[in-house]
DNA sequence: CGCCCGCTTGAGCCGCTTCAATGCTCGTGG
DNA sequence: CCACGAGCATTGAAGCGGCTCAAGCGGGCG
């Protein structure tokens, strides 16, 4: 598979994140230019570096040009829950719109290039440009819908189903970006996958091994090949064959 | 405790949901009037009646004037996850903004009065009235932040902590509406609580009983009194006393 | 009044966590 | 160039928390 270029050219990126993003918003070209003028195309975040910290003030929105980020919340007791992984083309920072303060930590899990726009500029523009505003609403709505899906996963699925969903979700997103839908690299640590899916590292690892033995996948460290996409899909919600009752809730010990 | 009036007066509600809602948006009174003109103040939904069905087209947004609703998603396999309970003053229908189609079923768990505004009207108005738009964004952002909190609950908390969070959350919301923060009625079935919190009815019931025996609460059917608010708060994230390690992930069997 | 449904409680089991040990990869320095 | 250590991943063994199955109870509604 191919990778994004590791560095950006001088003044402007050839395929700026916001540009691509605003293409899908169907902006008129003059509006697209106005948006483009306000964007800083060169923000670089290195691996393990924080983009946003929980509690800090919302200042900018970002579209990822290349790389991978994780977003997490931590409660008073120190428990961490990863709420999502973001990849190229995706918008980061929406959780802070409500309060004006970031609710989440956002950290790069690989060196990442971002396109940045000041939230104040964005808000002003979106007042002027209805289709931009509409697209923005779509993004917010999509985030809500996505979160609901994860709530279903966390509240009602067993370990194998969670892993299957996780892999299929990545497959779809890679595929949508022109990469292979069956072979890719998992950029995040097992620990992070576990936090995201509400299970321990060990269970993540064991489930991967199990899928590997069943020839559903071939996994080698962070490189993975999905060998039986249909079966993997069937595994979700296919609780009829192995278990006649719809499953609910948690899991084993805690 | 007091209850909302069970019927609405003729043409307009004295304390319309949207009116209260727009008050917190700091609208100019003329703008508030423009909003008010577009609102149907008389929508009634009876217990167990659907307000929205997953897959149906988004047509209106609602602010609850009185009553209680639940919102849930169901996957292909028939698994249901309740994603939230909504009470007076809260906005319903945000999950559909992204796609224009409802992702969730919304059902009244008691007879409820709603104030309705056509989404198209709302969208038009919010273009004209920046503070309305801003408030709308705040609501969307708040929903995202709320969902992240539930993801933390579902992904990283044990049964007792989930129940404690659930009760404290209700306590805060009732309190914010002028009701007692320690005595209230749970309008939803145990089953629904279980679905929302990612656990079975039995575990919900057992945890209530356990809290009851510990004198943390006094529970009788759907009537509950919180007898030790501070202790209940401590129970969350106070995993240091009884368990030296930060807990992660699922739970018992599945 | 009687039925149905929602809630509670008990007993046993299972899946996931916990604890522990080993292997692997990569970056660092001798 | 290789030795070494740190962090990540895998695997095994044992325990426990919440699920499953089952039975009993109470209250609301027809």
Chain A contact probe: residue of B54, B106, B151, B194 with most A CBs at under 10 A: B151
Q: Which pLDDT value is given to residue A34? A: 78
Q: What is the mean pLDDT of chain A?
A: 86
Q: A59-111 pLDDT, tens per residue?
A: 999 999 999 999 999 998 889 999 999 999 899 988 898 889 999 999 999 99
Residue B246 has pLDDT above 50, yes or no: no
Q: Which pLDDT value is given to residue A77? A: 85
Cβ neighbours of B50 (radius 10 Å): 13
Top-confidence residue, B243 or A73 = A73
Q: How far is the CA of A220 from the C1' of C28 (A)?
A: 25
pTM for the model stands at: 0.89
Q: Is the CB of B221 under 7 A from strand C?
A: yes
H/E stretch holding A220 reads strand A217-220
Residue B16 has pLDDT above 90, yes or no: no
CB of A196 closer than 8 Å to CB of A82: yes
Residue B9 has pLDDT above 60, yes or no: no
Task: Enumerate the residues of chain B whose CB falls inside 8 A of the CB of residue A251.
Answer: 249-254
| Strand D bases with any atom < 7 A from protein Cβ | 8-13, 15-22, 27
In sequence order, what E strands does B4-158 have? 39-45, 50-52, 60-74, 80-87, 91-92, 105-118
Please, is B186 exposed, middle or buried when counting C-beta atoms within 10 Å of its C-beta (0-12, 13-18, 19+)? Answer: buried
Residue A249 has pLDDT above 70, yes or no: no
Q: Answer left, alpha or beta for residue A215, where phi above 0 means left and psi between -120 and 50 means alpha.
A: left
CB of B132 closer than 8 Å to CB of B31: yes
| Torsion sign across C-alpha atoms B157, B158, B159, B160 | negative
Percent of chain A scored above 70 by pLDDT? 84
Compute CA distances A71 → A86, B204, B248, whole Å: 8, 30, 17
Residue A128 has pLDDT above 90, yes or no: no
The values of phi and psi at residue A15, to 5°, are: -140, 60
Instruction: Give which of A163, A246, A159, A235 is closest to B249, Cα–Cα.
Output: A159
Q: Is the CB of B243 under 7 A from strand D?
A: no
Residue B169 has pLDDT above 80, yes or no: yes
Q: Which pLDDT value is given to residue A242? A: 45
Q: Which pLDDT value is given to residue A252? A: 41
Residue B241 has pLDDT above 50, yes or no: no
Give A29's pLDDT tier (boundaries 50, 70, 90): confident
Hey, is the C-beta of A161 within 8 angstroms of any chain B C-beta? no
Residue B240 has pLDDT above 80, yes or no: no
How many angstroms separate the CA atoms of A126 and A118, rounded? 12
Q: Which pLDDT value is given to residue A158? A: 97
Residue A222 has pLDDT above 70, yes or no: yes
Residue A167 has pLDDT above 50, yes or no: yes
Q: How far is the CA of B182 from the C1' of D6 (A)?
A: 51
Give A11's pLDDT tier (boundaries 50, 70, 90): very low
Tokens representing A143 are: 């985030």
Q: Which pLDDT value is given to residue B254? A: 45
Compute CA distances B208 → A102, B163, B199, B217, B241, whole Å: 34, 8, 13, 8, 21
Tokens representing B249 are: 């992930």
Which residues does A142 contact at the CB level (< 8 Å), separation at least 6?
A: B98, B99
Q: What is the mean pLDDT of chain B?
A: 86
Closest CB to B147: pick one of A96, A147, A197: A147
Place of tokens 């969350």: B236
Residue A139 has pLDDT above 50, yes or no: yes
Q: Which pLDDT value is given to residue B188? A: 98
Q: Is the CB of A240 under 7 A from strand D?
A: no
Q: Does A251 contact B251 at a Cβ distance shorter than 8 Å?
A: yes
Instruction: Give which of B198, B58, B180, B45 is closest to B109, Cα–Cα.
Output: B45
Residue A14 has pLDDT above 60, yes or no: no
| A198-205 own/partner pairs: CB under 8 Å, 24+ apart | A198/A81, A198/A153, A198/A154, A198/A162, A198/B154, A198/B155, A198/B156, A198/B249, A198/B250, A199/A159, A199/A162, A199/A251, A199/B248, A199/B249, A199/B250, A200/B248, A200/B249, A203/A159, A203/B249, A203/B250, A204/A163
Which residue of chain A has the CA closest to B246?
A: A79
């Amino acid at each position: 598979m191919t990778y994004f270029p590791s560095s950006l050219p001088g003044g402007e990126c050839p395929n700026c994140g916001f540009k691509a993003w605003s293409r899908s918003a169907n902006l008129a070209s003059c509006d697209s230019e106005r948006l483009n003028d306000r964007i800083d195309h060169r923000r670089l975040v290195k691996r393990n570096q924080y983009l946003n910290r929980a509690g800090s003030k919302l200042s900018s929105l970002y579209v990822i040009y290349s790389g991978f980020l994780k977003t997490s919340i931590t409660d008073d007791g120190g428990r961490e829950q990863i709420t999502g992984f973001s990849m190229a083309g995706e918008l980061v920072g929406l959780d802070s719109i409500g309060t004006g303060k970031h609710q989440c930590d956002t950290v790069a899990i690989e060196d990442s290039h971002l396109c940045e726009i000041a939230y104040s500029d964005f808000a002003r523009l979106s007042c002027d440009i209805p289709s931009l505003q509409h697209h923005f609403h779509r993004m917010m709505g999509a985030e809500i819908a996505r979160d609901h899906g994860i709530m279903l996963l966390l509240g009602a699925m067993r370990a194998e189903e969670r892993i299957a969903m996780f892999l299929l979700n990545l497959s779809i997103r890679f595929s949508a970006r022109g990469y292979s839908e069956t072979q890719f690299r998992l950029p995040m640590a097992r620990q992070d996958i576990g936090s995201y899916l509400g299970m321990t590292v060990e269970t993540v690892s064991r489930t991967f091994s199990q899928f590997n033995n069943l020839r559903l996948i071939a996994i080698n460290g962070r490189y993975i090949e999905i060998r039986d996409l249909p079966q993997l899909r069937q595994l979700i919600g296919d609780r009829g064959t192995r278990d006649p009752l719809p499953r609910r809730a948690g899991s084993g010990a805690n």
